[in-house]
């Protein structure tokens, strides 16, 4: 079985080396070479490579950004190539087939290709592709801009409230109540939409009707039948239906 491969690297010498090593493999067909992520998007769409030799560090669109732009049905297996080993952990977190640190030796290159060959032959590419796509989407979500301020109408005034100052949000009919110290600001929004806009490392939804600022949690207070309430710095109490261990983990690590 022939393997269609694409080389993406902004350095001509690096592309030449990958091409020479790849063409020495008995079953690799190079379908193209690209010096930018933007060009690679077009070639992937037209040539449908099964394997991508992808540089991590490229101007304008790096290797991770390129993968995030690809539809899941066209996402090939990936062997990352880079001169910066600090990217290694992130590369493996995105479920790459392998990671080649420049300047890599022919034997190391052949080992990476063998892994890709085995993956393709075993037919396990779909699961790997879906996992890669999910992790990239998760990373994009973590890196997305987060809500840092809300505006609240009070009579003829518009008050700006910093989200870091808000201890908790609670449902109030068709509105949301934001608690800041002893003040309560009411604004029209759904808690679900608000949750998506807040930084998940700072804010945790603890029930269907409440989101708390993790920096404002003073203690988790036990109640009856194993239930707990969250006590905030202002001494305000918020009921929680989320498991206490899950909330404790979020408080320690900044995420659920």
Q: pLDDT confidence of 85, banded at 50, 70, 90? A: low
User: Of 120, 143, 166, which residue constitutes the final position of a domain?
Assistant: 143
Report how far residue 22's alpha carbon sits from residue 143's, in angstroms, rounded to the nearest whole number: 35
Neighbours of 94 (CB within 10 A): 21
| Of 116, 143, 170, the domain-final residue | 143
- How far apart CA 84 and CA 190 sit, in angstroms, is 44
Confidence of residue 128 (pLDDT cuts 50, 70, 90): low
Q: Is residue 172 domain-shared with residue 193, that is, in the same domain?
A: yes
165: tokens are 């100052």
Do 64 and 109 lie in one domain? The reply is yes
Q: Hey, what's the torsion of the CAs at 226, 231, 236, 238, to 10 degrees?
A: -40
Confidence of residue 243 (pLDDT cuts 50, 70, 90): confident
CATH of the domain at 157: 2.40.50.1020
Helix axes 106-122, 125-143, angle to 10 degrees: 110
Statement: the pTM of the whole predicted model exceeds 0.75: no
Measured CA to CA in angstroms, residue 19 lies from 26, 37, 66, 188, 222 at distances of 13, 18, 20, 58, 64
d(CA 100, CA 191): 45
3-class SS at 95? coil
End-to-end CA distance of the chain: 44
- Let me know whether 75 and 174 are in one domain: no
3-class DSSP state of 80: strand
Q: Looking at the 3D structure of the chain, how many domains does it have?
A: 2
CATH number of 117's domain: 3.40.50.2300
Instruction: Say how many C-beta atoms besides its own lie within 10 A of residue 2's C-beta.
Output: 9
* One domain for residues 217 and 113: no
**Is 171 in the same domain as 236?**
yes
The enclosing H or E element of 146 equals: none
Question: Same domain for 125 and 74?
Answer: yes
Same structural domain for residues 103 and 167? no
Structural domain containing residue 228: 149-253
Q: Looking at residue 130, what is its pLDDT? A: 53
Torsion of the alpha carbons at 215, 219, 224 and 226, rounded to the nearest 10: 70
- For the ranges 87-101, 190-204, 220-234, the lowest mean pLDDT is seen at 87-101
Q: Do 112 and 20 reside in the same domain of the chain?
A: yes
Is 97 found in the same domain as 8?
yes
Considering the domain architecture, whether residues 131 and 160 belong to the same structural domain is answered as: no
The confidence band for 102, taking pLDDT boundaries of 50, 70 and 90, is confident
Mean pLDDT for the stretch of residues 53-61? 88
d(CA 248, CA 179): 22
End residue of a domain, out of 143, 165, 191: 143
The fraction of the chain above a pLDDT of 90, given in percent, is: 56
Same structural domain for residues 71 and 175? Answer: no
- Same domain for 126 and 230, yes or no, is no
- Whether 229 shows a pLDDT value over 90: the answer reads yes
């Amino acid at each position: 079985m022939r393997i269609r491969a694409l080389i993406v690297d902004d350095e001509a010498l690096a592309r030449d080396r990958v091409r020479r090593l790849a063409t020495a493999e008995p079953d690799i067909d190079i379908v193209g070479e690209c010096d930018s992520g933007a060009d690679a998007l077009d070639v992937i769409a037209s040539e449908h490579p099964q394997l991508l030799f992808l540089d991590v560090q490229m101007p304008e669109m790096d290797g991770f950004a390129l993968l995030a732009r690809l539809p899941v049905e066209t996402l090939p297996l990936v062997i990352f190539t880079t001169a910066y080993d600090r990217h290694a952990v992130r590369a493996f977190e995105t479920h790459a087939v392998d990671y080649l640190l420049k300047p890599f030796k022919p034997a190391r290159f052949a080992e990476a290709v063998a892994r890709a060959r085995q993956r393709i032959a075993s037919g396990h590419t779909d699961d790997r592709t879906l996992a890669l796509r999910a992790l990239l989407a998760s990373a994009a979500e973590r890196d997305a801009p987060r809500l840092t301020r809300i505006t609240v109408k009070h009579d003829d005034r518009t008050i700006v409230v910093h989200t870091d100052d808000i201890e908790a949000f609670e449902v109030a009919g068709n509105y949301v109540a934001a608690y800041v110290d002893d003040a309560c600001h009411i604004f029209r929004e759904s808690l679900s939409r608000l949750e998506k806009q807040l930084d998940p490392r700072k804010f945790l939804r603890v029930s269907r009707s409440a989101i708390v600022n993790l920096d404002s949690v003073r203690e988790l207070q036990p109640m009856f039948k194993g239930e707990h309430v969250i006590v905030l710095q202002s001494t305000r109490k918020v009921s929680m239906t989320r498991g206490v261990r899950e909330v404790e983990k979020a408080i320690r690590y900044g995420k659920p």
